[in-house]
């Protein structure tokens, strides 16, 4: 079978399975079984599929994922996140669209301790969106910031998706985690600038709301008491990795332990909350690891079929300049992000993209950050962006889905601007890892 015929066979079956609504993990497992029979030698190929599956989920580099997820689950189930939101709500004042600003600032802090973009969006949406709408905020001004900052969660560590990308692509996990900090913070600043400018130009988007103002410790105390520990946990995780005191796995374990200790000190960790956190962690980690089972075998099948080498050789011999190849990668990721989830994007594209990254000698951390930003945009792009569905689940039924799509559009454009910024100025992504890790 010619390589392009094998490629069409594999991706044709995969496309059909995904379009009929089969979960990504099941779809890749099915395609691996077909590929093992056709390309890996029948029964021997099936045995190799089993061995690859076991090896993929026992990879030590994946162990930070459940710890990072546990941090976010404890944060949400113990109520520490709601206390932090109250702290921001009391402290921030005198700015246009104050609650939208609170959503961005709070979401940025949650991104530094939660490994789940969906959890961040769901929490902010369920707590802040009703209040914003009650105060007369335009639905776009209310929903857009909440969805946008949820996507930034993917860039700012801890991030389970970043760990997965580093593991599958062979990129330094600690370096990639740190490399996302500056772009993530810059995106948050861009969002704040857009919100402030929009509300200043059209105050009707976010009417002022009279409230009882407090001063002194009553204003700043909740911020200091409820937010400072969360920031210190983030500093602990980053410092442990950058100083070489701990591996990414050990840093993630320290972060999870610190989160549990903080919740105990605040008398927020009940048996019920701990059980919910552990069950949530097991459920999310199980889904991710089940999908990973198919990753190694899928890449190997593509290689045995000749599809990987054939497609990569076609690109190399096509005479395209490196920037043209990179532009093609970005466009492919942006298109895929409109239709499939982020883990499936990685499994489909990395077997083809990584040989090209190595061939052109691109900095893997720089390229990895570009990849993460493109995946972050995929969370926000219609028709199947995951955060759009999350917002749909918490928004009132009276708000049409088209309004949700319109609310996120400016933030998608700013994300594309960040892609261009990192592309043209690689130090935006590589400066901090170079400073802290020497990479």
Q: Over the stretch 211-248, which tens digit does the pLDDT of each residue have?
A: 656 677 778 888 888 888 888 888 888 888 887 788 88
Among 108, 109, 92, which residue's Cα sits nearest to residue 149? 108
| Helix (H) or strand (E) run with residue 226 in it | helix 217-242
In the 8-state DSSP scheme, what is residue 180?
A: T
Query: What's the pLDDT at 429?
Result: 94
Q: Over the stretch 122-151, which tens digit does the pLDDT of each residue have?
A: 778 888 888 889 888 999 999 999 999 888
Among 287, 265, 253, which residue's Cα sits nearest to residue 158? 253
Query: What's the pLDDT at 210?
Result: 59
Query: What's the pLDDT at 31?
Result: 80
d(CA 232, CA 238): 10
As to burial, measured by CB atoms within 10 angstroms (0-12 exposed, 13-18 middle, 19+ buried), residue 256 is: buried
Q: Which has more confidence, 241 or 3?
A: 241
Residue span of the structural domain in which 362 resides: 3-437
Mean pLDDT taken over the chain? 84
Query: What's the pLDDT at 213?
Result: 66
Q: Over the stretch 363-379, which tens digit does the pLDDT of each residue have?
A: 999 999 999 999 989 88
Tokens standing for residue 40: 């890996």
Among 407, 425, 360, 349, which residue's Cα sits nearest to residue 169? 349
Tokens standing for residue 315: 């690109």
Among 263, 342, 270, which residue's Cα sits nearest to residue 72? 263
Q: Is pLDDT at 265 greater than 70 in this prediction?
A: yes
| Total-model pTM | 0.83
d(CA 170, CA 404): 36
Query: What's the pLDDT at 211?
Result: 60
CB 366 within 8 A of CB 403: no
Q: Is pLDDT at 195 greater than 60 in this prediction?
A: yes
Determine which of 61-70, 227-236, 266-275, 372-381 has the lowest per-residue pLDDT on average: 61-70
Count of structural domains, the chain: 1
d(CA 359, CA 314): 13
- Interhelix angle 3-19/24-39, rounded to 10 degrees, is 150
User: What percent of the chain lies above the pLDDT cut of 70?
Assistant: 93
Q: Is pLDDT at 305 greater than 80 in this prediction?
A: no
Total Cβ atoms within 10 A of residue 331 = 11
- Interhelix angle 401-424/181-201, rounded to 10 degrees, is 130
| Identity of the highest mean pLDDT range in 185-189, 219-223, 337-341, 350-354 | 185-189
Query: What's the pLDDT at 179?
Result: 93
Average pLDDT score over residue span 54-63 = 72
Length of the chain: 439
Query: What's the pLDDT at 212?
Result: 57
């Amino acid at each position: 079978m010619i390589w392009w015929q094998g490629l069409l066979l594999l991706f044709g079956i995969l496309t059909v399975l995904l379009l009929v609504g089969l979960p990504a993990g099941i779809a890749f497992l099915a395609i691996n079984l077909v590929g093992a029979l056709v390309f890996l030698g029948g029964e021997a190929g099936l045995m190799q599929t089993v061995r690859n599956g076991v090896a993929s989920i026992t990879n030590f580099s994946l162990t930070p994922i459940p710890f990072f997820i546990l941090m976010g689950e404890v944060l949400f189930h113990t109520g520490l996140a709601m206390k932090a939101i109250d702290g921001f709500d009391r402290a921030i004042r005198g700015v246009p669209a104050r609650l939208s600003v609170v959503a961005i600032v709070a979401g940025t802090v949650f991104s530094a301790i939660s490994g789940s973009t969906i959890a961040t969006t769901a929490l902010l949406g369920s707590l802040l969106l009703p209040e914003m709408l009650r105060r007369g905020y335009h639905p776009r001004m209310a929903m857009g910031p909440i969805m946008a900052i949820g996507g930034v969660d993917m860039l700012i560590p801890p991030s389970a998706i970043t760990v997965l990308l580093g593991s599958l692509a062979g990129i330094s996990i600690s370096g990639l985690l740190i490399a996302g900090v500056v772009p993530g913070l810059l995106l948050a600043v861009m969002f704040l600038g857009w919100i402030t400018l929009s509300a200043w130009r059209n105050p009707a988007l976010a009417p002022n709301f009279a409230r009882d103002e407090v001063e002194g410790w009553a204003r700043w105390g909740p911020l200091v008491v409820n937010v400072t520990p969360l920031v210190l946990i983030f500093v602990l995780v980053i410092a442990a990795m950058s100083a070489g005191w701990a591996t990414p796995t050990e840093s993630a374990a320290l972060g999870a332990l610190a989160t549990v200790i903080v919740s105990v000190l605040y008398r927020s960790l009940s048996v019920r909350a701990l059980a919910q956190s552990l069950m949530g962690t097991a459920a999310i980690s199980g889904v991710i690891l089940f999908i990973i089972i198919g990753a190694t075998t899928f890449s190997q099948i593509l290689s045995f079929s000749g599809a990987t080498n054939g497609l990569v050789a076609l690109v190399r011999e096509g005479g395209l300049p490196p920037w043209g190849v990179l532009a093609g990668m970005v466009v492919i990721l942006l298109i895929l992000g409109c239709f499939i989830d982020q883990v499936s994007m990685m499994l489909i594209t990395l077997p083809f993209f990584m040989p090209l990254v190595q061939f052109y000698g691109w900095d893997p951390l720089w390229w990895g950050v570009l990849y993460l930003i493109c995946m972050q945009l995929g969370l926000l792009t219609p028709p199947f962006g995951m955060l759009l569905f999350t917002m749909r689940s918490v928004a009132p039924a009276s708000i049409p889905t088209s309004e949700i799509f319109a609310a996120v559009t400016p933030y998608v454009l700013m994300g594309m601007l960040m892609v261009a910024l990192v592309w043209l100025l690689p130090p935006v992504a590589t400066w901090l890892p170079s400073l802290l890790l020497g990479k």
